[in-house]
Structure 1
Amino acid sequence: MQEHEKSLLSLIILGALIALGKALNSSEPMTTRLFVGRMILGSATSVAAGAILIWIPGISPLAINGLGAALGIAGFQAVEIWLRRKGSSLLTGKKPQ
């Protein structure tokens, strides 16, 4: 496995663990749909940290994982808040007021 594949895999796992921690810390009832959705969202937002390699090609794997954790938490919260506000109207086909 090449280095960039290892970095991508570690970011996906890191994002999934962040989402798992948020799910376990939440007081709302956990459904399978909510659990899987949070795992996907956490993984996707952490992988966004891989984009830093475009600007800084020689950055260390530890720095990438740190950025992945930060973006995973911040991105997860931002996307979840946006989905709660606008997502339900997007799914039902109604335009927000």
Structure 2
Amino acid sequence: MIELLAPAGSREALTAAVESGADAVYLAGNMFGARAYADNFDEDGLREAIAFAHSRDVRVHVTVNTIVRDEEMAALSRYLRFLYEAGADAALVQDLGVYRL
């Protein structure tokens, strides 16, 4: 199976990717994303983006791709729980500690 996975770094990019036929998109919240200075989605924006994509049968993968320090693990755990509850389809991770959590 071939999947078209498109980046969605803004609401406009998300809309363009979904309307152009992407099967899935990847985006970042404003926590634990490698593009820290980009215009990433806040929690409300993530919920809206996930709902928008899902209403059109498009999956949403959220990047959690920073190296996480020990003192950040509690915040990371809360963030991952939020992503799960918001309906994210996957987390794209870099740090094996994030994967294990």
TM-score (normalised: structure 2): 0.22
Larger radius of gyration: 1
Point out which structure has higher relative CO (alpha carbons under 8 A, 6+ apart): 1
TM-score (normalised: structure 1): 0.22
